[in-house]
Amino acid sequence: MEVITDPDVLARFPDGELPEVDIDATVMPAGLDDLREQRRAQRDRPGFGAFAGREAVFLRRRWDEAEETEPQIYYEHLGPDGRRLRQVEMYADGTAVRAGPEDWPFNPPYDLYDPDLAQWEIGAEEFEQVWRRARREGQPG
């Protein structure tokens, strides 16, 4: 689910083609009631909304389920709408591969109100150092 308020984006959908939901309704469509409860629970936690309204957010997330041949750490640069603008995948052998939106068939936005994101925040300079060191997929290391 995504909340769309940008008039230019909304104009791309003919009338009736984009489902709308009243978030204050007593009964929500299946699946959305759980999201509303999740948001209510998040509101009182430290870090809630910490990234909302920012032009850029930088994260370093460890991927605990990764196998040896998969990325171990993801460095991500998010824009003001929560979508990834740049990403670096760091592998166990130290290889760093960078990518951008043109490399992803799907780029759903992060919820910038999610208090769990705060634990992964890093500074812009740390991200930039990793980005400069990384290579594009298929480039020699």
| CB distance 123 to 131 below 8 Å | no
71 in helix, strand or coil?
Answer: coil
Q: Is the same domain home to 93 and 127?
A: yes
pLDDT given at position 66: 66
The residues, ordered by sequence, that sit 6+ positions from 83 with a Cβ below 8 Å of its Cβ are: 101, 107, 108, 109, 110
Q: Is the same domain home to 30 and 86?
A: no
Question: Across the strands, what pairs with 90?
Answer: 73, 96
Q: Is the same domain home to 37 and 75?
A: no
Rounded CA-CA distance 34/23 in Å is 12
pLDDT given at position 140: 63
**Which tokens go with 31?**
């699946």
* Residue 135 φ then ψ, to 5°: -115, 160
Asked, for residue 113, whether it belongs to a domain, the answer is: yes
Q: Is the same domain home to 78 and 132?
A: yes
Give the dihedral sign, CA 76/124/80/35: positive
Domain count, the chain: 2
User: Averaged in consecutive runs of 10 residues, what is the pLDDT profile of the chain (141 residues)?
Assistant: 74 76 79 82 93 97 80 94 96 93 92 95 98 85 56
40 in helix, strand or coil?
Answer: helix
pTM recorded for the entire structure = 0.78
Asked, for residue 47, whether it belongs to a domain, the answer is: no
Written as one letter, the residue type at 6 is D
Rounded CA-CA distance 96/26 in Å is 48
115 in helix, strand or coil?
Answer: helix
Q: Is the same domain home to 15 and 76?
A: no
Asked, for residue 83, whether it belongs to a domain, the answer is: yes
Q: Is the same domain home to 64 and 38?
A: no
Q: Is the same domain home to 96 and 28?
A: no
